[in-house]
Structure 1
Amino acid sequence: MSDRGIPPAVILVEPQLAENIGTAARAMLNCGLTDLRLVNPRDPFPSERASAASVGALEIMPPVKIFDSTEAAVADLNMVYATTARERKMVKPILTPRALGETAVEAGRAGRKVGILFGRERTGLEKDDIALADAVVTVPLNPEFTSLNLAQAVLLLGYEWYQAGDSTPPRVLETHGAEPATKEQLYGFFAHFEKALDDCGFLRNEEARPNMIRNLRNLWGRAELTEQEIRTLHGVVKELTTLREKKRQ
């Protein structure tokens, strides 16, 4: 069990192609999901076609469970969610994938078992399948074209579950061990750089000078410079200044 609790089971109801089972398994394992259940697959399973399409995922995951009915496939689960893009005229809560991910993580951490139903490639889930679910999951997509293939749908919902329990910072600057420059070091470079610009006449327009300096400081500030990069820039300015002085001689 991960820090997200019990991972959701993925139930494919009457999948038509062995390749789709394999690609769905691949999408599952990308997101740390391993409980794959099939309801009456049309193609024989297991099969070489499914295994090849999974790119090794089916060999890593626990054995896939096969059931004769959707009811049997969800019997041991505490919460079941049905994916559909169609209006089925049922009184059901409708969740986005993000809301499902958060709900499934919360449930999994509480020790409850969650399952997500995915329907047939061409027609989706039948009303009788959806009636077994606690809620419906619908993906907000372009209303003119909402079609997803089976693996895409599995990956999308699996990703939202994985992200709901993920603590990865939204943005990281990889410095490979280099220390970020301190403000003192950055301001020291500002002084060196701006003196060189003054000396060469670049900042000769007194009216524009303050705004030009602010723009340059903002530019360097956005660069998130390391201590080593600051030293390199000092060296660059020094060499350029020295070269200019030599040319004057």
Structure 2
Amino acid sequence: MLHLLQKDPRLQRVMEVLEEPAHELWKNVSGTGLDMLHASYEDPSRYSYLFQSYVFITRFLLHNSPARRSKPAVLVTERSVSTDRIVFLEALLEQGFLDEPEAEAYETWYNAVVRALPNILADSFIYLRASPSVCYERLKRRAGSEEARVGLDYLQLLHRKHEDWFVQRTSAIAGHGDKGGGSLRVIDNLRIPSGVQGRQVLVVDCNLNLNLAEKSPERDALVDQIVEFLLSQLSQSALGLNLELAQLLINSESHGEGHL
């Protein structure tokens, strides 16, 4: 999906995409060959806090890298620090892979960083929504090394966390239903960590089994939903938008979430 958006002529002059640095940074820390993603799957009780902390750092460094030459009107990221805090930290706590001191430490420095650097938070979100069973079938077809450890129960947990965030804690925006199965919502529940209340969310139905490598009316409709949302956000605020493409579809490079 990210690659399709990058190729769309409506977005090429206004958008930059930041993909997760799984291969470059998480699976080869500082060029040492250390695979921190694998370690977090191999021994989550030992490495979950370390990995989530490292994920935050690498997202921050990528977001603020001086090597980024462009100053796009729209910056699309493949998940964000908000996902790390609201979905993965909460999921790890529920699984017992983080203890309370680790969670409190994460919460303390996370809140301090986002208060000091609010531009690291997304202004809007795109939720590519699929059921856990659909995600699981797609995962089995990909069969990555880390994915071999991912079970349906874990996907159900992630799905519940995303639904709680993007559906249960939001209000539908009247008149903005989408014929392609998407809907526009706004985050309004104060139990969400500060900084994301009031953000708009485009919820897109991705249960349909599409081959995104092949052009089709269904694929075009899916892309159009997202492009129109991005352009609408651009029209609301001409500069400096950060949007998170939040995907519930699983691959080994994304620590639990990934591409269609």
Structure number with higher strand proportion: 2
TM-score of Structure 1 vs Structure 2, range by shorter chain = under 0.3
Structure showing greater Rg: 1
Structure number with higher helix proportion: 2
The alignment's TM-score, normalised by the length of structure 1, stands at: 0.25
The alignment's TM-score, normalised by the length of structure 2, stands at: 0.25
Question: Relative contact order, CA 8 A, sep 6+: which one is greater?
Answer: 2
